[in-house]
Amino acid sequence: MEKIKISKTDLEVSRIILGCMQLGKTWNAEPISDDTIKNAINVIKTALDEGINFFDHADIYARGKSEEVFSHIWKEISGLRNKIILQSKCGIRFPNDPEDGSPGRYDFSYEHITKSVEGILRRLKTDFLDILLLHRPDPLVEPEEVAKAFDELHAAGKVRYFGLSNHTAPQIEYLKKFIAQPIIVNQLELSILHSDLIEEGVTFNQKHPSRGIRNIGTIEYCRLNDITIQSWAPLAKGKLFAENLTDEKLKIARDVVIASAEKYNVSKEAIMIAWVLRHPAKIQPVIGTTKAERVKACCQANKVQLSREDWYKLYIAGRGEALP
């Protein structure tokens, strides 16, 4: 597995990240089963065997159970903690938290950030996170509170580095004005079917763009500021290979992926991951799966270097129409 260095850190990380969202299986109060733990350990070990050393969490995943399940790996492999990168996210709150009637919302308050990290560390059974991300932009953010939380967490050795998720270039620039620590990561949705980040630069200045995307320049901003982009949902949430696919544009995109997989002699998943990896921004795809065989299928992307022509075929098929 190819490794890259995250700028402004000492972190050498695998190009592919294992997303742990579904490791805890259920998003309710149901207890964690032995089968869930056994499957999670198998998936984590498979990822490690494939050369993945980066694992992505969030405090809300399976309502905390995904982090709890992950912690069972420490008993399986001694000395593993200092050989891997653990990242988690906070900032999303469920409805009825802390009381009935509270809406689902975002919360970047000092109290919520610090309390969330304490819970994350407890569930993961670790003393520190390598990276903490703020999950989705909070319209009520007080950047001074974020700065205070980051300062304390960093000084206490509980979080080594910080980043964001789903943030635009102006939102990042605004937070950077107040935060002492460098913002090293921005995790964003990107796939063949959700290529809005790339569309920003392609449809800019079109009189009647078919896709109403503003040119914020987030990819360019991150590259200029040495912020590593991570791609969530790089497999497009499985939409291309859903049963009984009826959408004609999706069928065309599916066929292009299949043809590319046959050409490069790899899995369909590998082609979709390779499409993300081919971008010169050195984007890290986050593969979220509870199946060991799918981890292996995705990691075949590591041996694929798509030609420019094949990358564009996939891009155009995914966007559903020719370029302007």
- For the segment 226-276, what is each residue's pLDDT rounded down to a tens digit? 999 999 999 999 999 998 899 999 999 999 999 999 999 999 999 999 999
Is 308 domain-assigned?
A: no
Is 93 domain-assigned?
A: yes
Give the confidence band of 213 by pLDDT, cuts at 50, 70, 90: low
Domain count across the chain: 1
Q: In this predicted structure, what is the pLDDT of residue 78? A: 94
Give the confidence band of 205 by pLDDT, cuts at 50, 70, 90: confident
Is 28 domain-assigned?
A: yes
- Residue 32 is part of a domain; what is its CATH number? 3.20.20.100
Is 33 domain-assigned?
A: yes
* Domain span including residue 117: 3-241+276-303
Please, what's the largest Cα pairwise distance for the chain? 59
Examine the residue annotation and report whether 61 is marked as an active-site residue of this protein. yes
Is 95 domain-assigned?
A: yes
Using the predicted structure, report yes or no on whether residue 202 has a pLDDT greater than 90. Answer: no
Average of pLDDT values for 11-22?
98
Phi and psi at 184, nearest 5°, equal: -105, -15
Q: Which of 61, 161, 264, 315 is catalytic?
A: 61
Is 112 domain-assigned?
A: yes
Using the predicted structure, report yes or no on whether residue 300 has a pLDDT greater than 90. Answer: yes
Give the confidence band of 111 by pLDDT, cuts at 50, 70, 90: very high
Give the confidence band of 118 by pLDDT, cuts at 50, 70, 90: very high
Q: What is the pLDDT of residues 19-56, one digit of tens each?
A: 999 999 999 989 999 999 999 999 999 999 999 999 99
Is 63 domain-assigned?
A: yes
Beta pairing, strands 92-93 & 105-106: antiparallel
Q: What is the pLDDT of residues 119-151, one digit of tens each?
A: 999 999 999 999 999 999 999 999 999 999 999
Give the confidence band of 194 by pLDDT, cuts at 50, 70, 90: very high
Using the predicted structure, report yes or no on whether residue 181 has a pLDDT greater than 80. Answer: yes
Q: What is the average pLDDT score of the chain?
A: 95
Q: In this predicted structure, what is the pLDDT of residue 208? A: 67
Measured in whole angstroms, the distance separating CA 260 from the mean position of its chain's CA atoms is 24
Q: In this predicted structure, what is the pLDDT of residue 29? A: 87
Is 42 domain-assigned?
A: yes
